[in-house]
Amino acid sequence: MPLKTILLVDDNEQDRAVYRRYLTPYLGAPQYTIYEANSGEEALSEYARLKPDCVLLDYSLLDTDGLTLLQDLQHLGPPDSLCAIMITGSGNEALVVRALNNGALDYLVKGHFDRELLVKTVAHAIEKNEWRQYQARFHAELQTINQQLRDSLAELTATRQELDQKNQLLTAAHGQVQVRNGELHAANRQLARTNADLDNFVYAASHDLRQPVHNLRGLFEELRRSATFNDPDEAQLLHLFDASLHALATTIDDLATVVQTGREPGEQATERVVVQEVADEVLQTLLPQIVVVQADIQTDFSASPSFTYVRSNLRTILLNLLTNALKYRHPARTPQIQVRTYLAAEQPVLEVQDNGLGIDMERHGAELFQLFRRFHPHAGEGTGVGLFLVNRLVQAHGGRIEVESQEGQGTTFRVFLQG
């Protein structure tokens, strides 16, 4: 995965040097490839050539001002794709508001920020822009699904009209046709309501979409149960709708889960958790996958059999780590997975070790827990949310995660559950 690129736009060479030094990698900070421009004209040229992940833009330039350049940069890419941070010489509130209204994702006041604030601001702006791009793609997919449903409804409506005409001729002699016609009317009314719901569905936030999707699933199952389709193309259309609905529901559930992890841990009750009980629940949940891949999973909780934690969070952490170990198994050998707990400096540690595909930590270590990152897309389906959730849950309790991995050999996750 290539490093994120930053374009520094400032006509002051000393300021650019300071920003470059601040963005030089240090322990725990992301790494960037940095380019520079000392004028608005050069900035436009470099942006068109590089398409950087983020632009640090000084408001005062010799040949233009930051607001004008901000608008010019937006014309070089798709709408809402520019990730820019405006750097002003003062905390002028009106200028800041204009910059944000014109497309800047954040701002900094020159001389009033240090390395830590700059690094955090850049990382947050890039993550916010990536999330914005993901939402745009997500809504585009919803619009496509909505159009497919409209096309499906049009075809079913035409079929209904044809059956209505036949029903008028056969009503007296064929009571079964009447029953079928009534079922078809009900199915079409359900699909009409579904289509109306989807008009609003496209514009709803992710946490508002879960119930409508569950409703769609129920309506679809009713249609599949009650209606008969003689045209193979219609059956294929229903199959495609089923697959799309499953993918949509999975994405929405993952997004809703991400939102849930933002709660403060104080809002959830802690208790004395017996680790073996949680592990038994998780292993029972994963039993079909374990049987299919013939995985050998060994547990040892003798060194720390129980501790105080949010039970549901511990279950989610262990479930995601074991799911990844099974999903990203090495095709040439039987999965061997070791799960154990112990104490390190009076802190409970959960360790999950596997002999799977492993991860190139030099390439991917810095982005291992970022949202929607997948490092073995060929190995199975997924949304790149699992490790992000694990990290968020652990950090919410003041803990941390250490990872050791060698590509082709396997991975060890050490989860220090409490800070």
Residue with the bigger pLDDT between 361 and 279: it is 279
CB within 8 Å of 135: residues ≥ 6 apart:
none
Taking each helix axis from N to C end, the angle separating 40-50 and 66-74, rounded to the nearest 10 degrees, works out to 30
pLDDT at position 92:
83
Q: Do 226 and 191 touch, CB atoms closer than 8 A?
A: no
DSSP symbols for 231-295: -HHHHHHHHHHHHHHHHHHHHHHHHHHHHHTTS-GGGS--EEEEHHHHHHHHHHHTHHHHHHHT-
**Can you give the residue ranges of every domain in the chain?**
4-113, 133-260, 266-416
Q: CA angle, corner 349, sides to 362 and 261, nearest 5?
A: 75
Per-residue pLDDT tens over the stretch 384-419: 677 788 889 888 888 999 999 888 889 999 999 985
Q: Name the residue among 351, 280, 341 with its Cα closest to residue 321.
A: 351
Q: Is the pLDDT of residue 327 over 80?
A: yes
* Residue 200 reports pLDDT greater than 50: no
Mean pLDDT for the stretch of residues 373-383: 55
In this prediction, residue 187 carries a pLDDT of 74
pLDDT at 35 (0 to 100): 96
Distances (CA, A) of 46 to 51, 52, 146: 8, 9, 39
**pLDDT tens digits, 218-271:** 776 777 777 676 667 766 777 667 756 655 665 566 566 656 655 544 567 889
Q: Express each pLDDT in 277-326 by its tens digit.
A: 999 999 999 998 999 999 999 999 999 999 999 999 999 999 999 998 99
pLDDT value of residue 222: 74
Which pLDDT tens digit goes with each residue over 174-196? 888 789 888 887 877 766 555 44
Q: What is the pLDDT of residue 198?
A: 37
User: Taking the domain 4-113, which CATH number applies?
Assistant: 3.40.50.2300
Confidence of residue 349 (pLDDT cuts 50, 70, 90): very high
Min mean pLDDT across 111-115, 150-154, 262-266, 407-411 is at 262-266
Buried b (16+ CB within 10 A) or exposed e, 229-252: beeeebeebbeebeeebeebbebb
Tokens at 167, concatenated = 């029903």
63-67, 73-77, 382-386 — which is least confidently predicted?
A: 382-386
Q: How confident is the model at residue 202 (pLDDT cuts 50, 70, 90)?
A: very low
Q: Which one is the CATH code of 266-416: 3.40.50.300, 3.30.565.10, 3.40.50.1820, 3.90.1570.30?
A: 3.30.565.10
Instruction: Please name every residue paired with 7 in a beta bridge, in sequence order, or none if there are none.
Output: 35, 55
Q: Please report, as a single letter, which amino acid is at residue 315.
A: R
Q: Are strands 410-416 and 347-354 parallel, antiparallel or unpaired?
A: antiparallel
Average pLDDT of every residue of the chain: 83
Report the distance separating Cα 254 and Cα 247, nearest Å.
11
Q: Which of 324, 347, 345 is nearest to 410 (CA)?
A: 324
Distance separating alpha carbons of residues 117 and 130, to the nearest angstrom: 20
What span, in angstroms and rounded, lies between the C-alpha atoms of 233 and 133? 34
- In this structure, the number of other CB atoms found within 10 A of the CB of residue 291 comes to 9
CB 215 within 8 A of CB 200: no
What does the pLDDT average to over 39-50?
95
Average pLDDT value for residue range 47-72: 94
